[in-house]
Structure 1
Amino acid sequence: MKIRIKICGITRDEDLVAAIGAGADAIGFVVGVPTSKRNLSPEKAASLVRQVPVFTSSVLVMVPNTLSDLTETYDRVRPDILQIHGKGVPKVAEIRQAIPGATLIKGIRSEPGRVLKAAEEAWGFDAVLLDTFIPGKHGGTGITNDWWIGKKIRENIGPERLILAGGLTPINIWEAIQTVRPYAVDVSTGVESSPGIKDHEKIASFIGKVKEIEL
């Protein structure tokens, strides 16, 4: 099985070009998260999304406060995929009614005693992204996830729905994939030189190592 690769937290045109050139399957753009060093305005995100070529997916990453906040930003950015984090996420039925045909990813965190239920509650989404649990954070921490939790979630919901994130790097990605066996992997901090600034050599190394793995 081919493992799909998402490079998240892109903020610059040159980093987008590097990720696409290295063979990323999806590119993530963070909007409406002021606490993130990778946060973009809807206008900047839309400009980057327009540069994503056919057969590479653009992903809008949000922590929405309301359904209208979600839909308005989606309409302005026009991504291929919508990735949603936070406890205030609208019900999936409401999102699908407001944005018909949208591909939806629900971000969850490996919170002890809560994560398995959170994965089950995300049944109406197209995929689940598992990230490291850090109180007050919704990704981009650079802290390695508990891969055994990821393995258990994959066994519960199926490999075709699980995206693994959380502290992935070119060094640990082989072990992470062999342990969890996810559908896709998501990296941001692990391919940066500083927050929001990607290291092009790390991007190429990460993607190259993932592409060598066959499950």
Structure 2
Amino acid sequence: MSKLDLEHMGSMEYDVLREIGNIGAGNATTALSQMVNLKIDMKVPKVELLEFKELSDIVGGAESLVVGILLTLEGDIDGMMMFMMDKCSARHIVNLLMNLDLEELEVEDFSEMDLSALQEIGNIIAGAYLSSLSQLTNMTIMSSVPYLSIDMAGAILSVPAIEFGKVGDKALLIQSQFGEKEKEVNGYFILIPSMNSYEKIMSSLGL
């Protein structure tokens, strides 16, 4: 197979990436619904292949405060994956999970218990994405223990940019919205496989 060129991808390759995003987001929504024991609606996710430097603008700017859950990937593909939420969205999910008043704790900082819940939420959502990718490609994909960080988007995104900037500067961004309008949760799933792994994914799907 010829080397995959991320700068000049065909419509078929983009369709495959979008399908990976759609299935992953659907699995993640189901997992989240089961976790909080509520029906959660999901809008059609927006799937884009972006440069690292564009990612922070999508999540509200480099200085916006976000919750980031970072995992490294091993097995048939390697790379990193990250699930990010703005702080308000993270607060909503924690409150839902712990049956807390959705208005009362709007501005408070996260407690140790909240952070533990966030890590578990991130683990389950990331696991749902990985599981769908694994089933779709018939590849074995394992992840590290998730690392949780609450920081400015630019600082969190600098980690994969430094690590993978040397092998490419593109990341697959899947932007999902869950929940009701007044309590909408914006989630950003970022998949950063190595170039070799991108090629393996496409090859496994017959491209």
TM-score range with shorter-chain normalisation?
A: under 0.3
Return the structure number with greater relative CO, CA threshold 8 A, min gap 6.
2
Taking structure 1 as the reference length, what is the TM-score of the superposition? Answer: 0.26
Larger radius of gyration: 2
Taking structure 2 as the reference length, what is the TM-score of the superposition? Answer: 0.26
**Higher share in helix:** 2
